[in-house]
Each structure stands twice: as C-alpha cells, then as structure tokens.
Amino acid sequence: MATTVASLVLSTGITSAVLQVLVDRIATITQTKITQFKQLQSQFLELGATMTKAKALVDDVENKKCFPEACRILLEDIKSVVLDADDLLDEIDMFLENRTDKNQVSQITQMFPSSFRFNIPSELRKIHKELGDLVDKLEGYCMMNLGQPQMAAPTPILPSTSLVVGSSIISRDPDKKKIIEMVLSDQGEGGGNVSVIPIVGMGGIGKTALAQLVYNDPDVVRNFDFKIWVSVSFSYDVVMITKSIFNSVAEQRSGLMSEFRGVFELSDMWKYFELSHNEIHIQLQKKLRGKKFLLVLDDMWNENPRDWDQLKLPFQVAAQGSKILMTTRSQIASSILSGAPAYLLNTLSHKDCWTIIKQTAGLGDAHENELIGLEIAKKCKGLPLAAKVIGSVLRYKYGERKWGALLKCELWESPEHGNHIYPALKLSYDNLSSYLRRCFTYCSIFPRDHEFEKDDLVQLWAAEGFIQAQGRQEIEDVGREYFGGLCSRSFFQASDDDPPKYKMHDLVHDLARLVSTTVSFSMEDNVSNILPIPRHARYSSLLCQDIKPSTLEVFHRYEKLRTFLLLSEHASNLKQVPYDFFIKLGRLRVLNLSHSGISDLPDSVKNLIHLRYLNLSHSSIKRLPKSLANIYGMETLKLKNCCELLQLPDNLKNLIKLRHLDFDGRVISSMPMDVGKLTSLETLPAFIVGKHIGYQIGELKNMMFLRGSICITNLENVANSVEGEAAMLHEKQYLKKLELEWNEMGSQTVHQEVLTSLKPHVRLTELRVTGYCGLIFPNWISDSSFCKLERIHLDKCHFCTLLPSLGQLTALKYLLIQDMHDLENIDHLLCGSTDTFPSLETLTFRDMPKLKIWSGINENDMPHLIVLSIDSCPELVTLPSLCYLRSLEMLEINRCSELQSLPREGLPLSLTCLIISESDILKERCEVQGADWDKIKSIPNIMIDDEVIPMEGRQN
C-alpha cells in the first residue's frame, strides 16, 4: 500500500472519537447511577481519568498524521480495550437500571448471572489495568520520540490559484455557461448589491477548475472593476482573508499587477499586516465603495455564520452586480453564505473521463487500447481528479501489459493513485466531528452501490451508541441531523425516489473502507477486502449468494463483533442459524437476518444481552422465541413482509426501551397483551383493537412519541366514545399519517361517536377512513385547524349521505372518495364557502353507485386542480361547471353510463388530456360532429374507449 494511503488509514481519529464517547459515558454513570456505591464511584473516577489522559495522548499522535507501525499497533490496542470497556459499561448500565425496576426482576435473573454484581469491581480493575499499561507505553513512546525526526508527512494539498488551462477541462461548457450567466447578472440576492453563487460537490469533482474557467472568461474579466481569488481551505481566518482581499484590491487599484490581475503576492502583504482588523475593514470598504467586484472563495469549509457576517461587512458598499463565487463540499456552508440554491456539480460520464485520461497521458484522439481505456475510465466514477491521476500514470507507462494491470487493480493499490485521490477525499473526512466520523466509517460495511434508507441507517447508528443525546431532543432526531450533515458534505447521494434512498459514491465508499479498516470488514462473493480482516473487528456484513449455516461459522473467530448484517436479498437457502452463532457472538448490538429462509431463531438468542437492533424482515420466520422479550435493551425490531409470522410474543411488553416495532398489520392477528407499556415506541405501523382489557384501543394512551404512520384497525371493537378518547390521538403530535379502519358493520350511532372521539393532532398530513358506517362525518374532519393535512381517503363509508366541507382545508392536495353506496348528491357543502380547496391538485370520485348530481363549483374554487377523475358512477347525470378549473390538465370519466353531457360552459383551456370510457351517452356526444365535439376538439390528447382521436382532421 502507498505510504500516503497507509498514513491516511491510520490517522482516522476513530480511537479519539471512541474515547470521547466513553469519557462522557463514565461521567454520566458516575454522577447519576452509582453515587451510593462509594467503591464503584472511586473506580469509575479513576477509569475516567485514565481515559481522559489516553484521549489527550491519542489526539496528539493522530494529529501528527504520520507515525510508525509500533504506534499504530498501540492505537489499535487502545481502541480495542476502550470498546471492551464500552461493552462492560453497557452491562453495568443495564444492571443498575434494572436493579431499581421491580418490574424487571425476572429479566435481571435471565440476563445476568447472580455473581455479576460481585464481579463488577474486578472487571473494572482488569479493564483499567489493560488501558493504563497501554497509555503508559504510548506516553513513553511520545516522550522518547520528542525531537526525533518524524516519518515523512503526506504531501499537502496545495492552495489553488486562478490560473487555468481551459483546454484541459472536459465537458464543463454547459456548467460554465450557466455560472457565467449568474455571475454577469445584475440581480442580487435579497435586494442587496452583492450576491453569492455557491458551487457544491464532492472532492475531486472539478469545482475549482470550473471556477477558474469562469474567473478567466473574457466577458467576466471585462465586467468587473476588481477580481480577487482566495484559496480558503481549512485555515479559515477572517483577518487573513480580509487582508488578502484588501491586498489584491490595492495592487489592482495601483496598477502594479495588471499582468496578473487579481492574484496577490504574499511577499508584498507585510506592509498591510501591521494594520488592525478594524483598519483593514475600513480601508477595504473605501476601496470597494461603488466598485463592482468578483471574489472567488475557493474550497470553503467554514460553517460558522458569525465568521461570514464579519467577512462580508466591507462588501455592502460595493456596486450592484458584485458577485462572490464560492466552491465548497458542504451544502451547510453554501446555505449559510447564500440565500440562493447551490449549484450542484455532477460527475462526468465514462467517455469524458477517458478523454481526460488521454489528454493527460498525451495520447492521440484514437488509441489502440480504446476499449480497455474506456473500462479503465469507469474506475474514475465520474471524478476528473481520478481521471487526471490515471492519465499521469499512463504518460510514460502505457504498454499493453501496464494497461491490463491497471484495469485489474483497484485505485488504492497504485502509489500514484492513492497518494493523490484519497488524501483529497479525506479532507472532507478530516473536517467532520468525531461523532460524524464514527457514523461515516460504519457505512463501510455496506457493499458498493448499496442503497439504504435514512431512518434505517439512523437506527443502526443509535443501536451502536454513535448518537449522543442533546438535551430533550430524541436520539433519532439527533441522528437525522448527523445524516443531514454527512449528506450535505457529499458523503451520501440521494436517489430520485420518493422517499429517496441513498448510497455512497464508489470512491467515497473506498475511503470509508480505508479509514475503518481496523474495525470493519465486509465479506462478499468474489470481492477481496481492501486490507486483511482486522483482529479486533467490530462491524461486519455478509453479501453472498450461497449462504449456509457453515458460512456463518466463519464469523465465530470474531467474538467481539457488534454488528452482523446479512445484506443479500437472495439468502432464502439459509434455513437456520447455528445455535453456537449467538453463543460465540454475544456482544452483538445489531443483527440483520433479513431476506433469509429461517423459520425460527434458536433459543440461544437470549445470550445477546447487548442486542439493540434485530431485523428479520422478508424472512420465513414463523415464530419468535419468548426469550427475545427478555433482551432488556432492544430498541428496534423489524418484521416487515414476514408473511408467515401470525403473532408477536405475548411478553413483548417487557421490551420497555423498544422505539421501533415494524411489522405487517395485515398479517398479525392480534396485538400482544399490555403493549401499551411500550411507551417509548416511535414506530408502530398498526394497532389491532381487541375487546378485552390489555388489548383495547386505550393501550395507545401513553405512546406519546409515535411518529410516521399508524393504521388502527378493527375499530368495531371500540364500544363507545369513552374508549375512543382513551387513545388520546389528539396529543400524538408527531404522527403524520393516520388510518382508521372498521372491518365489520355495526351501529351507526356508535361509529359516529367513536370517529368523533378519535380526533387526531392538527399536525396530521394524511388521513384515511375505511369501513365507517356513520351517516355523517364529525366536524373535526373538515376543521380548518388541520392546516397541514395534504391527503384524505374516504373509503367504503357505505351509509354516508353527506360529505364533509373539506374545501376549508388549506393544505389539501389529494382527495379520494370511493365506495360510498348511499351518497346521491354532491353539492356546495363539499366546498363550503367561496375560494375553497386552494391547494387541491388531484380529485377522484370512484364507485358511487347512487350518485346522481354533482354541483357547487364556483369561480376561484380549486384553482390548482390538475387531475380530475370520475370513475364508476353509473347514475351520475350532471357535472358542475368545470370551466373555472383554470389549472386542470387531465379529465378522466370512466363507467358513467348515464352522464348526459359535458358542462354547458365547456372545459378549461388548460386541459391537455381527456379520457372517456364505457360512458355511451357521453361518447356519442363527444364524437366528431357530436353535440359536445366543439367543447373538446382543441384538446391535444383525447382517448375515447381506448381509441386515440388524432389531431389531424379535427377542424373539419
């Protein structure tokens, strides 16, 4: 491995991050949980002091960025002992918490041997001695090496300049054109004279090169009085940057630097250094007053708004149209500096990367190894930096053998590649907080191109203890902030799905594996690890097509594993987990056996006392062992698409720390008894209401943290409004989607009382009511206080004769009303007063067998309606005036056999698509020369009974 990459792997900061977490944790336990145990308190204080000392030494060593193998081994051993200490603290923490909880006595008996309490002091002494010995060795090493010559430090990343060879930048003309248009525009953000244009993208993607192109464009040069280029990088110093800008402006103003306009000479800056910051600000403001300037802040990292506010003070007097062009890897920095959306720079195509390789290597346009070259270019994954490095390698070494070897190797295996590409990417990593570093390196266990969901990854981080509590903020909320921080710095890339999925760019993924190589590994089919599997591995994943119980036994040698993820979606041939698997890997905190063929778990799962996260989704699991409910610390239990799992364990109520219980409500026949004791639950996709105590809807009463969506089904088992009110849905402020479902008919009066009592919190965004038998809906369903409600489904409400006045819901975008057998008339009551449904975009009426008349749309109603669908309303005779729907683009009328005509006033001019099917009267009127032909002939797309009516000949 290249020297620079080796140093990059070692100087990860993970050991320091782990130590910081443990120091904080020991302080918490000492101050809150063992105050009555003087001996333990003394031991904890001593251990905390040793860890604090260890952190100081580790910080010093890791900050040097270069150290020999002996030091690396010491750091790895310290990290291993600290993680062992974390496991011990985990057990002590659980023991102390349970010891004071009378309801958990049975769990203590099963989780901890009777001697555990008496072994705590000796276990603490053992850990303390191991750590102390290692700290003494590290301290001795540091003292011994004071003043000694160090290993060669990695080659630093040089500051950028404004000079550029334009011909060397490939496929950025569209980007250059757009940025130049923004730079030359006189429009300022927020009405000010100076606006900021942020160019955002991951390291090596070409942000600086694009800025150089723009900076040197002739039109740009002519447009500004002053042009200044400042390479910011990590050393963000407001005073130094201000002096650099002042120096550049002063030199340009005096004409001393006409040849190198905007590029300052550091040697001349001494004459301005004696000025105070205040004097520099005043002098710079004088020189910029009324002048139009372009300032490039290249490689901006600073995310402190106060620093930016200080820097920009002198710019306020500049002329209209002045611009600040900023390049950054951080969307956080971008949002702080600019009110405008960031300009996100995308990766290049494989073909463009090949062009850069040829250009850098000095090869001709056509090359004999063109096909191999294109395959090599794919290794760049769209990064110009990687293409340039490969091109420089091939400049003098482009024999056929060299090309073939380069195609087979990975980028980190070549000194030329590793010494340039990964250090550049690692700058982003070095700029992360210690907590974010741990979260990022954990992602190395995912295979390349693996897509993950935000909340699932946050739950994994939480299970591993990576997320630090912040006041009263929920752990997952803090974790989502962590995720956003990594995403905004280009570590994760979002898909176009809704909701989006995420993955890492291949080279970022390689970086994750490099910096986590001492703690993580991934076992994949036909894919070797970047480095040998570490002896102290803690996090692992398995991605193989042919998985047998014997495959799992390979992992027995890594007894300290905390994470085991089975990531293959084709692991159905794994029918069982060996009994010893959970005996050998007793420190697991995260276990994912999803997409496997296992039908049950061995009872040895009770050995996993540290387990926080268990995922059995998409498996053949039929039952869960009762002992699972004795794993006191379980936080996440995922059972999605487990079609053979018909019930949950009866004693699930014991998992009082459970925050996420994810299962299929359509498969599970009933809820476990007293599930309401799980008051920490945030995820509960369904609640199946029972009739008896312990199963009633009132179990939801104390689940105040429920968020996301929930379907409350079997509501026919709610006897009256008192039982309904006991659920306290109106206090569940984090719920976004609520489904209320009756599966059996019952008393109309009871249904009305119960639905009235189930009023949710006004922050709800989606509501679905199914199987309701009342004649009318309660007033709350159309209450204007539901100002965030965007979607409503009213389904199978067979006996309703009146629709609620939903037009008063200002945020409603989607409304579906279907399968209402007794509804005969839709009138002005649906809309309510004037100017109603201000946000509605899609409206659907479906399966209304008795609906005859729809009326009551007035001018200014539904101003943003785009799609209107009327389906299976066989008695419908008339439609309201649709001409007022000025945004309507699509009108679909299906199976409305009695509909007499289109509205007399005609259809809105905005309509672009009309579909009519199985509506014979209307079909006849809409044929060419039919009574309604003139109303539709100008609509671009018309389909009647699956026949497209072409535009040609419509005017005849």
Instruction: Pick the more confident residue, 204 or 767.
Output: 767
Alpha-carbon distance of 441 to 189, in angstroms, equals: 38
In a 3-state reduction of DSSP, which class is residue 325? strand
* pLDDT number for residue 409: 61
- Residue the block writes with tokens 């525009």: 185
Tell me the backbone φ, ψ of residue 320, rounded to 5 degrees.
-55, 135
Helix or strand run (H / E) with residue 179: helix 173-184
Query: 318, 293 in Cβ contact below 8 A?
Result: yes
> What is the distance between the terminal CA atoms of the chain, rounded to a whole angstrom?
78
Residue type, 140: G
* pLDDT number for residue 265: 39
Of the listed ranges 381-385, 814-818, 917-921, the least confidently predicted one is 381-385
Query: 477, 524 in Cβ contact below 8 A?
Result: no
* pLDDT number for residue 208: 86
pLDDT, tens digit, 9 for 90 and up, residues 384-412: 878 877 777 676 555 555 666 666 666 55
Query: 543, 447 in Cβ contact below 8 A?
Result: yes
Query: 775, 803 in Cβ contact below 8 A?
Result: no
Confidence of residue 528 (pLDDT cuts 50, 70, 90): very low
Per-residue pLDDT at 844 exceeds 70 = yes
Helix or strand run (H / E) with residue 736: strand 735-741
Helix or strand run (H / E) with residue 394: helix 384-394
- 167 burial (CB, 10 Å; 0-12 / 13-18 / 19+) is exposed
Per-residue pLDDT at 529 exceeds 80 = no
Average pLDDT over residues 620-634: 91
* pLDDT number for residue 313: 81
Tell me the backbone φ, ψ of residue 588, rounded to 5 degrees.
-60, 130
* pLDDT number for residue 366: 60
Of the listed ranges 157-171, 574-588, 791-805, the least confidently predicted one is 157-171
Instruction: Pick the more confident residue, 373 or 851.
Output: 851
* pLDDT number for residue 816: 97
Helix or strand run (H / E) with residue 815: strand 814-818
Per-residue pLDDT at 680 exceeds 90 = yes
Average pLDDT over residues 456-482: 90
Helix or strand run (H / E) with residue 547: none
Alpha-carbon distance of 431 to 157, in angstroms, equals: 14
Per-residue pLDDT at 413 exceeds 60 = no
Of the listed ranges 200-209, 606-615, 622-631, 898-907, the least confidently predicted one is 200-209
Report angle CA 65, 66, 68 to the nearest 5 degrees: 145
Average pLDDT over residues 431-459: 90
Tokens of 493: 């890339």
* pLDDT number for residue 328: 85
Per-residue pLDDT at 641 exceeds 50 = yes
* pLDDT number for residue 914: 95
Nearest CA-CA partner of 445 in 561, 547, 609, 545: 561
Per-residue pLDDT at 234 exceeds 90 = no
Pairing of strands 613-615, 493-494: unpaired
Tokens of 785: 């206080």
* pLDDT number for residue 257: 40
Instruction: Pick the more confident residue, 770 or 203.
Output: 770
Alpha-carbon distance of 744 to 843, in angstroms, equals: 28
Phi-psi region of 2 (alpha: psi -120 to 50; beta: other; left: phi over 0): beta
DSSP 700: G
Helix or strand run (H / E) with residue 540: strand 539-543
Most confident stretch, 148-152, 319-323, 787-791 = 787-791
Q: What are the Cα distances from residue 176, in Å, to 189, 211, 215, 343? A: 20, 8, 10, 11
Per-residue pLDDT at 595 exceeds 50 = yes
Nearest CA-CA partner of 880 in 912, 851, 858, 850: 858
* pLDDT number for residue 252: 75
Residue 599: beta bridge partners?
none
Of the listed ranges 156-170, 262-276, 746-760, the least confidently predicted one is 262-276
Quote the percentage of the chain above a pLDDT of 90. 40
Residue 293: beta bridge partners?
226
Confidence of residue 510 (pLDDT cuts 50, 70, 90): confident
* pLDDT number for residue 326: 87
Confidence of residue 272 (pLDDT cuts 50, 70, 90): very low
pLDDT, tens digit, 9 for 90 and up, residues 891-931: 999 999 999 999 998 999 999 999 999 999 999 999 888 89
Alpha-carbon distance of 873 to 174, in angstroms, equals: 52
* pLDDT number for residue 711: 97
Per-residue pLDDT at 793 exceeds 70 = yes
Instruction: Pick the more confident residue, 88 or 697.
Output: 697
Q: Which residues of 606-635 are buried (b: 16+ CB within 10 A; e: fewer)?
A: bbbbbbbbbbbbbbbbeebeebbbbbbbbb
Tokens of 609: 């006392």
Confidence of residue 105 (pLDDT cuts 50, 70, 90): very low
Average pLDDT over residues 652-681: 93
- Average pLDDT of the chain is 83
* pLDDT number for residue 913: 95
pTM: 0.82
* pLDDT number for residue 99: 56
Nearest CA-CA partner of 130 in 16, 240, 51: 51
Quote the percentage of the chain above a pLDDT of 70. 84
Tokens of 85: 């200490």
Average pLDDT over residues 623-638: 92
- Chain-centre distance for alpha carbon 527: 27
Nearest CA-CA partner of 190 in 337, 333, 84, 299: 337
Q: Which residues of 481-517 are buried (b: 16+ CB within 10 A; e: fewer)?
A: ebbebbbbbbbbbeeeeeeebbbbbbbbbbbbbbbbb
Confidence of residue 162 (pLDDT cuts 50, 70, 90): low
